[in-house]
Amino acid sequence: MILRALLLLGWTGCFVWAQAPGEGLVEVSGDSVPGIVIEMRYATARNITGKKIYPDGRAWLRLETIRNMEKVVMDLRTRGYRLVLWDAWRPISAQKALWAAKPDGKFLTPPTKISRHSRGTSVDVSLADLQGKLLEMPSDHDEFSAKADENFSDVPKEVGGRARILRQAMFRAGFSGVPDEWWHYDLRDWTSYDPIQER
């Protein structure tokens, strides 16, 4: 019986591993982060390029990042919100496709530099209500205007308040943010992780 259980565990491990697009990545799902709303924008045409860049809508991160996301999800639930995931690990090929569609260093990391998203330690996130309906936030994903920065005085009070709730929940769970994109967060020690190559 124990042997059977071990074999089963082994098989499950292999199955997950074989599916991961890069070494050390774990799929983000309702199983690994219960209650998360996954809306991978680059798996649709609703992104700055107007084209589908990811092969499917599955999201991948390092296990450490997933563990911190679990904390965020639990924290937000007590405040009446669900966490929305817009982007996670980004393969270097996708970064190149983004750059080809919009070669502007103001908006994107050029392919000559490594995007933080390629480390599996960065996420682009937003908020939904408890039913999973996306809520109005300061700007859309990848909208590089003054509304996207962490100064929320130029957006409606309620909207800025939501962005602050998200920011505080992410900070409490061990993430750091960037000043120009309210949706982007990194594991606080992201520099100690290497980029993850596609298999």
**What is the closest distance, in whole angstroms, from the C-beta atom of residue 124 to Zn ion in the complex?**
4
- For 92-129, give one letter per residue: b (16+ CB within 10 A) or e: bebbebbbeeeeeeeebbebeeebbbbbbbbbbbbbbe
Identify which of 137, 94, 140 has the alpha carbon closest to the alpha carbon of residue 115: 94
- Residues that bind Zn ion (rule: CB under 5 A) add up to a total of 2
By Cβ distance, which residue is nearest to Zn ion? 184
Q: Provide the minimum distance between the beta carbon of 126 and Zn ion in the complex, in angstroms, as a whole number.
A: 12
User: Taking the C-alpha atoms of 54, 125, 173 and 69 in order, what is their torsion angle to the nearest 10 degrees?
Assistant: -40
Q: Provide the β-strand partners of residue 61.
A: 26
Report the alpha-carbon distance of residue 43 to residue 141 in Å, rounded. Answer: 13
Catalytic site residue from 23, 143, 181, 198? 181
Under rule CB under 5 A, residue 41 binds Zn ion = no
**Residue among 57 and 156 whose Cβ is closer to Zn ion:** 57
With binding defined as CB under 5 A, does residue 184 bind Zn ion?
A: yes
Active site residue 181: yes
- For residues 86 to 125, the per-residue mask of contacts with Zn ion, x marking binding by CB under 5 A and - elsewhere, is --------------------------------------x-
User: Rounded distance, CA 42 to CA 77, Å?
Assistant: 26
Quick one: 2 or 28, whose CB is closer to Zn ion? 28
CB 38 within 8 A of CB 73: no
How far is 150 from 154, CA to CA, in rounded Å? 10
Q: How far is the CB of 28 from Zn ion (least distance, A)?
A: 15
**Cα–Cα distance, 121 to 194 (Å, whole number):** 10
Pairing of strands 81-87, 37-38: parallel
Question: Taking contact as CB under 5 A, which single stretch among the options 37-45, 65-73, 105-113, 177-185 is the one that binds Zn ion?
Answer: 177-185
Instruction: Map residue 113 onto helix, strand or coil.
Output: coil
Q: CB 75 → Zn ion: shortest distance, Å? A: 20
| Shortest Cβ 117–Zn ion spacing (Å) | 6
Stretch that binds Zn ion, among 60-68, 88-96, 127-135, 176-184 (CB under 5 A): 176-184
Residues forming the site for Zn ion (CB under 5 A):
124, 184
Catalytic residue ranges = 181
